[in-house]
């Protein structure tokens, strides 16, 4: 086998695809955000986790965490509260409004 090329040209380093390709936008074309690195975490009912049989309206510091700054009751979709405890919680919040531990609304 005879190879007469005196100075074999080294192969031109082709630009690697990951560096040459434009950075992919995290938001898709339809505007749907692809939350990369987002791990969907299973929400668990806080009262079930603490094995609370009946939500106590007198535990204002706990109940306050289920109310927005404007005084609205947070939905169970946001907090992960189960339906049984969400009903008890709603009643406790309404009770707390009447005894003025929680605001009906604050602007």
* Region near Zn ion per CB under 5 A, out of 11-19, 29-37, 62-70, 84-92: 84-92
Handedness of CA 91, 94, 100, 105 (dihedral sign): positive
- Is there binding between residue 45 and Zn ion (CB under 5 A)? yes
- Is there binding between residue 78 and Zn ion (CB under 5 A)? no
Rounded to whole angstroms, the Cα distance separating 74 from 90 reads 9
Q: By rule CB under 5 A, what count of residues binds Zn ion?
A: 5
Query: Smallest gap, in angstroms, from Cβ of residue 66 to Zn ion?
Result: 12
Q: What angle do CA 54, 60, 64 make, to 5 degrees?
A: 105
Residues β-bridged to residue 27: 33
Taking alpha carbons only, the member of 43, 92, 38 closest to residue 67 is 92
In the set 82, 90, 95, 101, which binds Zn ion (CB under 5 A)? 82
Query: Smallest gap, in angstroms, from Cβ of residue 45 to Zn ion?
Result: 3
Which positions touch Zn ion (CB under 5 A)? 45, 47-48, 82, 85
């Amino acid at each position: 086998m005879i190879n007469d090329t005196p100075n074999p040209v080294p192969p031109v380093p082709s630009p690697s695809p990951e560096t040459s390709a434009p950075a992919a936008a995290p938001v898709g074309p339809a505007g749907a955000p692809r939350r990369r690195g987002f791990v969907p975490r299973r929400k668990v009912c806080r009262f079930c986790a603490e094995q609370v049989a009946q939500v106590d309206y007198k535990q204002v510091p706990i109940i306050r965490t289920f109310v927005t700054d404007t005084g609205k009751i947070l939905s169970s979709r946001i907090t992960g509260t189960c339906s049984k405890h969400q009903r008890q919680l709603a009643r406790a919040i309404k009770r707390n409004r009447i005894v003025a531990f929680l605001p009906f609304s604050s602007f």
